[in-house]
Amino acid sequence: MTFAGKVAWITGASSGIGAALARELAARGAAVVLSGRDEARLAEVAADCGESLILAFDVRDETALAEATAKAIAWKGGVDIAFANAGISQRSRALKTSMQVYRDIIEVDLLAQIAFSQGLIGHMAERGLGALGFISSIAGKVGVPMRTAYSAAKFGLAGYADALRAELSINGVSVHTIYPGSVATNVSRNALNADGTQRGRSDKAIDEGIPADVAARTMLDGIAAGEREIIVAEGMELAMGEARRTPEALFDQTAGMVAKGYMDKLEQN
């Protein structure tokens, strides 16, 4: 896959991995659609991206999402690549964490990203082309302490992506699940405490993590190479991710089931 001349839509594009993906996609010749809640920060990213469209909205607002989807598709006649990237992390023990924190993180990190994707898959399948990138986490491969809600959401996102990949394998749409480890962003500062308040401080591992622009290049290189799982990590986190990597044969097996009419048979029964 090449990115030149393509339209790429990124949620959570105002900072961190999302902003880095937008800039790297633009550098590779893509026109970018930037979404997030903060229009002013999106405009700062857009200033580095050449041809771009800002669609500011809260990913939890499905009415606003539907309106943004129509605008993104209409902008240049289609969306070729979409990154479900918006998310929020957590730093709290399960024993102390309120259920509202679980609800809030799962709503943003899982349900909103599914809604974003569901709004595009019909469009992509009808065109017979497209790519979806889901930003999970090493914590979506291995349960990580102090992140029970975050791990639950990111594991769920990976499961949705894997099942979706099999379904869309007959429609010319590729699905790529990305598993970052520690990337130098504000993810820790923005993480939720046990009571739902913002943490407001970073972690040493995050501060010393992979630069966001380097991570973005690795992600796009993986998509360009057709990788279905893309692990972006170093050291122990890389080892953890590789230990839980899904064998390619399993992806081939589920795609083969679809090719042989598995879904048609289930719908007929």
**Active site residues per annotation:** 150
Total length of the chain: 269
- Secondary structure of the chain in the HEC alphabet? CCCCCCEEEECCCCCHHHHHHHHHHHHCCCEEEEEECCHHHHHHHHCCCCCEEEEECCCCCHHHHHHHHHHHHHHHCCCCEEEECCCCCECCCHHHCCHHHHHHHHHHHHHHHHHHHHHHHHHHHHHCCEEEEEECCHHHCCCCCCCHHHHHHHHHHHHHHHHHHHHHCCCCEEEEEEEECCEECCCCCCCECCCCCECCCCCHHHHCCEEHHHHHHHHHHHHHCCCCEEEECCHHHHHHHHHCCCCHHHHHHHHHHHHCCHHHHHHHC
Q: Determine contact, residues 15/186, Cβ cutoff 8 Å.
A: yes
Sheet containing strand 173-180, edge to edge, reads: 52-56, 31-36, 7-10, 81-84, 130-135, 173-180, 229-232
Crossing angle for the helix pair 112-127 and 62-76, nearest 10 degrees? 30
Reading the block at residue 234, the tokens are 């170093």
